Amino acid sequence: MGDYQSIYNRSLTNPDEFWAEAAEDIHWYKRWDRVLDDSNPPFYQWFTGGRLNTCYNAVDVHVENGAGDRLALIYDSPVTDSVRKISYQELRDLVAQFAGALANQGVGKGDRVIVYMPMVPEAAIAMLACARIGAIHSVVFGGFAANELATRIDDAKPKVIVSASCGIEPGRVVEYKPLLDEAIELATYKPAHCIVLARPQATATMVDGRDIDWSEAVAGAEPADCVPVEATDPLYILYTSGTTGEPKGVVRDHGGHAVALKWSMKNIYDVDAGQVYWAASDVGWVVGHSYIVYAPLLQGCTTIMFEGKPVGTPDPGAFWRVIAEHGVEVMFTAPTAFRAIKKEDPAGEYIKKYDLSKFRILFLAGERCDPDTLHWAEDMLKVPVIDHWWQTETGWAIAANCMGIDFAPVKPGSPTRAVPGYDVQVLDEEGNPVAANDMGAISIKLPLPPGTLPTLWNNDARYQESYLSRFPGYYLTGDAGYKDNDDYLWIMSRIDDVINVAGHRLSTGAMEEVLASHPDVAECAVIGAADPLKGQLPVGMVVLKAGVDRNDKDILPELVHLIRDQIGPVAAFKQATVVQRLPKTRSGKVLRGTMRKIADGERYKAPATIDDPVILEEITEALKILGYPKSG
């Protein structure tokens, strides 16, 4: 325990000393020459000159320190009715073997490997195997369609793609192999090989000469050793939604990442080696990268990979069963999961069935945590419920109640204060800090702390343009909000076209691009409308081409199918309506913000520059028919 304010101040006034101290917790083959390398602003690097291996720090080191028998990973899969427990020693052997299999396919340092897999241990094994040999992994979430996978293949240019025959969603088997084959067909760049894990629920049709069965690839492989890499070498690329259909390839380095994540386990989550930590997310998201795979293993914890849902696998007691059965002390998930449980089990009857005595803290992130959900979770679980705020780009929390430092009073709706390392400021249009309680663009003064993105994959220019150009000297988070008198942050909305559906970040711009490709659509807009379960849901407004006479009922299935096919089921796009015109300013800018306010039942003022205010009445009517605004 310590004093948050003095630790926070020291992290900003003396970052070199602060992070060098944290870096002592990591094994280095060669120590760094510089802690913060600020020789090329606005690009900053951490621990330049240092050499390490992330897989060594996450796996081997614990075996060498005598903890080989400790459980590293528990795979709990209600959808296949199975549990598998893997010790650190077993994990090291599995990872080394698979690293050897990758090497046999010509994968070496700096080569990219796409991992398109469900929530099975082999996904984590593939990621760690890449880290072991210095290859760069890029995990693609299983709920994305072939087209999205193809975009990532073309950008990352992987030598090998690791996949599985299928994923399992409640009630249906999602065959991955046809999606993978289609993606490779669509992509301009072709990977040399695919390694495919055969799951009993579906058989993958293999392409001769290109595809290799996981077990065969592993059977013929020599275990590979950890390869020292530069602290600044990329560990992974993770694509995330931007304002257009082109996803951004967030790069994560080795050194800063290992240091920051290990630091976060004790200081933010208050978790020690040997304790069981569970992030109920998916390896396809940043939460899965940081807090299912890397951070808990770096800390020597037991991590849980859960292949199931908060409800329906088989009931709203799934989380409590896992916590009780595996002795989980700290859990991390998205508020939407708790809203789903609360909806099915409002009185918490299922909680009473399990022994949750070991459970200490619940962390929530991925979307704003509404006070109702926070209070419900507190009342039911009788443990601190901590909202914390971060994003794919940062890789770890920007604001949190740092439970390992000192517990600050919870203000429902706020993720508490900036985490040490992050100089968070709220700026006005001109880039000047605003007064307490005033809204503005939430920005982080450069340099960002270790573990955050150094750039976008092969695209320094887009990195600068997207994040650094709006306010020179600051990183633009894309979130708007304010700081109160106690320095608590309040994250209120996005300043761009990114929406948040069930804790998943999606681009309305990308959906508009897809809808616009329908032959009958002249123009369209997609807004994120407030939904009591998923936070937001996408709603499409389409204007049909002159002479096309079709109604909502008629065209909706085609639009839904198009988005599912081009972006994926994860977009949860199920609602659209035909309108005569879109509301616009006289200069032609579509008034998406005004439409969103109408959908959410918020007061709005039509801009003076609107070309025809009558359209807003038509939009209000159309949204009403779709059921908006929804009541909580």
CA atoms of 350 and 316, how far apart (whole Å): 7
Q: How far is CA 568 from CA 69, 510, 575, in A?
A: 40, 12, 15
Contact (CB, 8 A) for 418 and 399: yes
Closer CB to ligand AMP, 196 or 369, in the complex: 369
Binding ligand AMP (rule: CB under 6 A), the pick from 267, 336, 401, 500 is 500
For the residues of 212-251, what is the DSSP string, one character each? EEHHHHHHT-PPPPP--EETTSEEEEEEE--SSSS-EEEE
**Residue 480 near ligand COA by CB under 6 A:** no
Helix (H) or strand (E) holding 577: strand 575-578
Closer CB to ligand COA, 174 or 198, in the complex: 174
Rounded to a whole number, what is the distance in angstroms from the first to the last CA of the chain? 39
Residue 367, contacted partner among ligand AMP, ligand COA, none, CB below 5-8 A by kind: ligand AMP
Residue 368, contacted partner among ligand COA, ligand AMP, none, CB below 5-8 A by kind: ligand AMP
Site string for ligand AMP, 501-520 (x = CB under 6 A): ----x---------------
**Residue 572 near ligand COA by CB under 6 A:** yes
Closer CB to ligand COA, 285 or 463, in the complex: 285
**Residue 143 near ligand COA by CB under 6 A:** yes
CA atoms of 567 and 381, how far apart (whole Å): 37
Closer CB to ligand COA, 285 or 376, in the complex: 285
Amino acid at 268: I
**Residue 503 near ligand COA by CB under 6 A:** yes
Closer CB to ligand AMP, 447 or 535, in the complex: 535
Contact (CB, 8 A) for 163 and 116: yes
**Residue 415 near ligand AMP by CB under 6 A:** yes
Residues 346 to 405 in contact with ligand AMP, rule: CB under 6 A? 365-369, 387-392
Closer CB to ligand COA, 23 or 119, in the complex: 119
Q: How far is the CB of 317 from ligand COA (least distance, A)?
A: 14
Q: Which residues contact 98 (CB under 8 A, 6 or more apart)?
A: 122, 125, 126, 129, 217, 218, 221
Residues 330 to 369 in contact with ligand COA, rule: CB under 6 A? 334, 336-337, 340, 366
Residues 270 to 289 in contact with ligand COA, rule: CB under 6 A? 281-282, 285, 287
Site string for ligand AMP, 420-459 (x = CB under 6 A): ----------------------------------------
10 Å CB burial of residue 367 (0-12, 13-18, 19+) is: buried
Strand partners, 306: 76
Closer CB to ligand AMP, 326 or 388, in the complex: 388
Residues 417 to 446 in contact with ligand COA, rule: CB under 6 A? none
Closer CB to ligand COA, 183 or 426, in the complex: 183
Contact (CB, 8 A) for 457 and 156: yes
Strand 575-578 to 136-139 pairing: unpaired
User: Which two three-digit tokens encode residue 516?
Assistant: 């616009």
Neighbours of 569 (CB within 10 A): 16
* Cis before 234? omega within 30: no
CA atoms of 374 and 366, how far apart (whole Å): 14
Stretch that binds ligand COA, among 166-174, 232-240, 518-526, 543-551 (CB under 6 A): 166-174
Site string for ligand COA, 45-74 (x = CB under 6 A): ------------------------------
Contact (CB, 8 A) for 563 and 555: no
Q: How far is the CB of 124 from ligand COA (least distance, A)?
A: 15
Residues at the site binding ligand AMP, with contacts judged by CB under 6 A:
240, 286, 365-369, 387-392, 415, 477-479, 491, 494, 500, 505
Residues at the site binding ligand COA, with contacts judged by CB under 6 A:
142-143, 167, 169, 174, 281-282, 285, 287, 309-311, 334, 336-337, 340, 366, 502-503, 569-570, 572
